[in-house]
Structure 1
Amino acid sequence: MSHSDHSPAEKEARRATPGRPWTPKEEPRQDALSRYLGAVAAAASARSTEEPEPAPGTAKSQPPPATSAHEPSAGEPATLHVRDVMQVPAISVPGDMPFLDVAHTLAREKLSAVPVVDAGDHVIGVVSESDLLAKAAVMAEPHRHGPVGRLWQHRLYEKSHGDTAATLMTFPPVTVHPAQRVAEAAWTAAHARLKRLPVTDYRGRLVGVVSRRDLLRALIRDDAEIRGEVESLIRQHLLDPRAAEVTVENGVVTMTGRLDKAVVPELLASVRDINDVVGVVDDIEPV
């Protein structure tokens, strides 16, 4: 993702965060979330210039575009793909698994949702805690009362009478492919409001699963990686890289040292252009 795409989206995401004061422990998490939202927004913006894709929940018949295999040039961060961050093997349940066994699987594996597969390991749907909760509610009170009870989420009410994973699941499933960019998968997860996405091959067979947490960690580099890129820039701009000291905390870069005033503006501008840099504190003493 280029800086020109990332920066405006990130700023918009940061403006959208709550206005209440953040606690010291909460602020780093909010910074990370804002940067994640910025990456997702930039991915959505990029999608608007590409060919329309099927709506979330529909199968994709074609492989991802060739840009997924983009090889980074020297000094450019590598583009991460879903295959780099997905969890394997993926936990799944067969379509004929009884309701109580599905509930036990979610509890045992500490999952909020699980893919439902057929005999060929093709993903046919996803059963979630919400689906099981609806089933439990119908078991507790089988008759709904009032016009809202009769009309609201009729499909959810009807399927909650099922007794197996296949009859309780949400379908069609929203899935991603191993070769998709992480930012694209993050956009899909955000758009569909899902915490976990099954990863399938071109034939729709389950090969892994990726969570929003996996995508978050992949999209936002940690401070050590950012510091490494800043130090690489310093070596390009200064004859003696030891003249500058760098610290990075929650994406904020602080630079100190006695440096030639002729190179300081360009160096600082280059640091600000690094992806995932939230801000730059200039404590440099020009000489």
Structure 2
Amino acid sequence: MSDLERSSVAKESRRSTPGRPWTPQEEPRQDALGRYLGAVAAAASARSAEYSEATPGTAKPEPPQAESARGSSEGEPAVLRVRDVMQVPAVAVPGDLQFVDVAHTLAREQVSAVPVVDADDHVIGVVSESDLLAKAAVMAEPRRHGAVGRLWQHRLYEKSHGDTAATLMTFPPVTVHPADRVADAAWTAAHARLKRLPVTDYHGRLVGVVTRRDLLRALIRDDAEIRAEVESLVGQHLLDPRAVEITVENGVVTMTGTLDKAVVAELFASVRGIDDVVGVVDDTEAV
């Protein structure tokens, strides 16, 4: 099955899936989500391979060294790190901040969660809207009857009696390091089902925050960036790059024009190897 046929089948299957009505914006959203999940799956696979190769008693690997945005050496692809996409400075609250003030902070900053830090900026937990909601729910209805009510009260007991960020927060916190790969951070966020991850140094001090949206944007390049890379490849393979017209839509590259048949196979293999290219449509004529 060709790339075009696979793309058409995938689109048709998504349209036929029961659920909310299909909209013009849904197809690009689904394509972006698929590409994001592909990157997360690749990161998870790499993690599994690393763990399977490790042997008992081996030393913990050294943290990744700093690299330039152009890669560790000429010719190597750049590896996006958390430091390249994280937000600084990060909003945080002290452990002794009162419940009402934590709620005001979330509302003012328009975020769903914030790290809780100690006097030395070490991240000790994360307090979220869910944590505050548990507190507010018990305040509004302190007593529930029956087995379900007793279970509900038992689970929320700690939350209901907390008045500060430190007593309401969820801990231990799930954090990432600035030198972590973006794909690994995306895997962590997906695995923990978190929208925001505190970024800490190797001493556990807060240095920034990264969101799922930041990771999504970093992992999935837009069509204009993909097209620029394809044009660069075409320029390397053809004496006259204008002989080929290139369009990119939702990661699918379409190439039309006239090509020397001696370079067709190598050129299309190179285009398929570009990150975030989900398919290549060959509308060229080989001569």
Could you tell me the TM-score, scaled by structure 1's length? Answer: 0.85
**Are 2:187 and 1:215 equivalent residues in the alignment?**
no
Partner of 1:233: 233
Number of equivalent positions: 266
Hey, what's the Cα distance between the residues in 1 that align with 2:156 and 2:262? 66
- 1:197-208 residue pairs with structure 2 within 5 A? 197-208=197-208
- Amino acid of the residue matched to residue 141 of structure 2? E
Q: Is the 8 A contact 1:162 1:168 kept in 2?
A: yes
Partner of 2:126: 126
Shift, 1:285, TM fit = 2.0
- Amino acid of the residue matched to residue 99 of structure 2? F
Q: Is the 8 A contact 2:64 2:179 kept in 1?
A: no
- 1:130 aligned counterpart, secondary structure: helix
Q: Which moved more, 1:235-244 or 1:122-131?
A: 235-244
Shift, 1:193, TM fit = 0.3
Shift, 1:239, TM fit = 1.8
Q: Is the 8 A contact 2:113 2:129 kept in 1?
A: yes
Q: Which moved more, 1:171-180 or 1:76-85?
A: 76-85
Q: Is the 8 A contact 1:92 1:114 kept in 2?
A: yes
Partner of 1:5: none
- Amino acid of the residue matched to residue 87 of structure 2? Q
- Amino acid of the residue matched to residue 105 of structure 2? T
Q: Which moved more, 1:203-212 or 1:270-279?
A: 270-279
- 1:194 aligned counterpart, secondary structure: coil
**Are 2:143 and 1:143 equivalent residues in the alignment?**
yes
Partner of 1:37: 37
Shift, 1:63, TM fit = 7.5
- 1:265 aligned counterpart, secondary structure: helix
Over aligned residues, Cα RMSD in angstroms? 2.5
Q: Which moved more, 1:263-272 or 1:71-80?
A: 71-80
Hey, what's the Cα distance between the residues in 1 that align with 2:176 and 2:114? 15
Q: Is the 8 A contact 2:64 2:180 kept in 1?
A: no
Could you tell me the TM-score, scaled by structure 2's length? Answer: 0.85
Shift, 1:17, TM fit = 7.1
Question: Structure 1 pair 170/87, CA: closer, same or farther in 2 (3 Å)?
Answer: same
Q: Which moved more, 1:151-160 or 1:173-182?
A: 151-160
Hey, what's the Cα distance between the residues in 1 that align with 2:267 and 2:153? 57
- 1:48 aligned counterpart, secondary structure: helix
Q: Is the 8 A contact 1:96 1:164 kept in 2?
A: yes
CA deviation vs aligned residue, 1:113-156 (integer Å, no higher than 9, x gap):
00001111110100000001111100000113222232258444
- Amino acid of the residue matched to residue 177 of structure 2? H
Question: Structure 1 pair 234/93, CA: closer, same or farther in 2 (3 Å)?
Answer: same
Shift, 1:75, TM fit = 4.7
Structure 1, unaligned stretches of length 5 or more? 1-12, 53-61
- 1:1-287 residue pairs with structure 2 within 5 A? 19-20=17-18, 22-51=22-51, 65-66=63-64, 69=67, 71-152=71-152, 154-287=154-287
- Amino acid of the residue matched to residue 143 of structure 1? R
Identity %: 82
